[in-house]
Amino acid sequence: MVKPPTREAASGLRAVARCDELGAVPYSDSDEHLFRPYLGAGHAAALDRIAAWMTEAGMAARIDAAGNIVGRYEGRHPDAPALLIGSHVDSVRDGGRYDGMLGVILGIETVAWFAERGHRFGFAIEVIGFGDEEGSRFPVSMLTSRAVAGVLGDQDLALADAAGVGLAEALEGFGLDLAGFAGAARQRGDVLAYVEAHIEQGPVLEAEGHALGVVSAIAAQYRFRAVVTGTAGHAGTMAMRLRHDALAAAAEMVLAVERIGGAGPEDLVATVGRMEVGPGVPNVVPGAVTFSIDVRAGRGAVRDRAADEIRQALAEIAARRAVTLDLTVQQDLPATPCDAGLSDLMAEAVREVTGAAPRILVSGAGHDAMVMAHLAPVAMLFLRCRGGISHNPTEAVMDEDVQAALEAMTAFVARLDRASFGAPPKEKEE
């Protein structure tokens, strides 16, 4: 008989309770809201707590050269390659309690579940809590998964935070040093795969009544800067038919971006999120407008086609209104497909737990998994979150969804063991 989950043994309920515990001081750098920046006091306190939970779950816990917490649960043979299960422990300012942290805690619960039953595998399991995913302290994101994947750039080591504290100094405050930072890099042969459970941070699973989803890819992203130049003039004397109003043109362009984004597959999204109007004065016809365009899709070709359509539509609007348009690419991130074999195993695990075909979806948000894909095959499990809300203190999950996620993770690990090593894990009779 299946025992109901409790807070004492490995369970989704305990995972939620642990994330809630880590949502306030001393695990936050602010007593008003959750803010856990990389290498801050809240980060240090959280790592102490997480290390204790890892040890209790049968893992050897350590902090790596980049400030990531790593717990290792040995396989049947020492030095076996590791299945990495993880996510990030940092948060944005005034963030939610489950973004990132839930994936780390679910990793610990997964190991605890097997440890309680005496299961070992042909691979080790390592749970990793990345110190920085959000760009919570320095003006770049995914700094610490990039260190682990061995894809840091020289410019990453020269970073300083908003208060002018450099990465070297921040690391020293954590008992680490810049010279060793890149030493967090892992060898390919040591890592079997990377798996991340994360809240969806979007509304699709909830809208369609699914507790869990399997991620097929992390979206390709373009960010453009558009500058529309018209002619500024007196709002009282400039005849309407003689105007070259940069803002009116830009408004039409925003609607074109929205229309093109909405005309593709569901994972195609296009957004204008920022706009500056010059001179920005009530009695002057706007002469110049600068705005951002963000375009994402699960497949690069879909994104590129939408971006081409946007370029064409905006050029046509500019020509018709006799304003000039200057469009520059500011960011071009390729899509990261999740590994098909691992994702199939995850989909089977979800089906086993929920009894239904899993919802397959593209992640529009970036995750550590997209970086870890440079090192090893990756898979991602998404959990439904209330209203699709994230990066917000009202972020919420349901206990039963987290329990389902834990069961899917354990089913995935057992299936990976059979797929990799051909033998089922030894069942201990209870």
Residues that bind Zn ion (CB under 5 A): 99-100
- Shortest Å, Cβ 275 to Zn ion: 27
Q: Which is nearer to Zn ion, 43 or 244 (CB)?
A: 43
Tokens 């469009």 -> residue = 327
Q: Which is nearer to Zn ion, 104 or 408 (CB)?
A: 104
Rounded distance, CA 224 to CA 296, Å?
Answer: 12
Rg, the chain, Cα only: 24
Q: Which is nearer to Zn ion, 99 or 294 (CB)?
A: 99
Rounded distance, CA 145 to CA 127, Å?
Answer: 13
Rounded distance, CA 304 to CA 166, Å?
Answer: 37
- Shortest Å, Cβ 33 to Zn ion: 17
- Shortest Å, Cβ 73 to Zn ion: 23
- Beta-carbon contacts of 403 under 8 Å, excluding residues fewer than 6 positions away, are 5, 11, 12, 13
Rounded distance, CA 194 to CA 367, Å?
Answer: 12
Q: Which is nearer to Zn ion, 47 or 253 (CB)?
A: 47
- Shortest Å, Cβ 96 to Zn ion: 9
- Shortest Å, Cβ 11 to Zn ion: 22
Residue type for 222, please? Y
Helix spans in 72-128 (H)? 101-117
Q: Which is nearer to Zn ion, 26 or 135 (CB)?
A: 135
Q: Which is nearer to Zn ion, 359 or 367 (CB)?
A: 367
For residues 404 and 353, the answer to whether their CB atoms sit within 8 Å is: yes
Rounded distance, CA 388 to CA 365, Å?
Answer: 12
Q: Which is nearer to Zn ion, 53 or 98 (CB)?
A: 98
Going by C-alpha positions, the residue among 56, 123, 40, 138 that lies closest to residue 89 is 40
- Shortest Å, Cβ 198 to Zn ion: 6
- Shortest Å, Cβ 371 to Zn ion: 12
Q: Which is nearer to Zn ion, 74 or 134 (CB)?
A: 134
- Shortest Å, Cβ 247 to Zn ion: 35
* Residue nearest to Zn ion according to CB distances in the complex: 100
Q: Phi and psi of 202, rounded to 5°?
A: -150, 170
Rounded distance, CA 220 to CA 307, Å?
Answer: 12
- Shortest Å, Cβ 344 to Zn ion: 24
Going by C-alpha positions, the residue among 228, 233, 235 that lies closest to residue 289 is 228
- Shortest Å, Cβ 197 to Zn ion: 11
Rounded distance, CA 319 to CA 306, Å?
Answer: 20
Q: Which is nearer to Zn ion, 199 or 408 (CB)?
A: 199
- Beta-carbon contacts of 429 under 8 Å, excluding residues fewer than 6 positions away, are none
Dihedral sign for Cα 161, 163, 165, 171, please: negative
Helix spans in 124-196 (H)? 143-149, 167-172, 178-181
Beta strands in 131-232 (DSSP E): 191-199, 212-218, 220-229
- Shortest Å, Cβ 240 to Zn ion: 48
Q: Which is nearer to Zn ion, 135 or 278 (CB)?
A: 135
Bridge pairing between strands 324-333 and 359-363:
unpaired
Q: How far is CA 28 from CA 84, 86, 92, 336, in A?
A: 26, 20, 11, 32
Q: Which is nearer to Zn ion, 110 or 363 (CB)?
A: 363
Q: Phi and psi of 228, rounded to 5°?
A: -105, 125
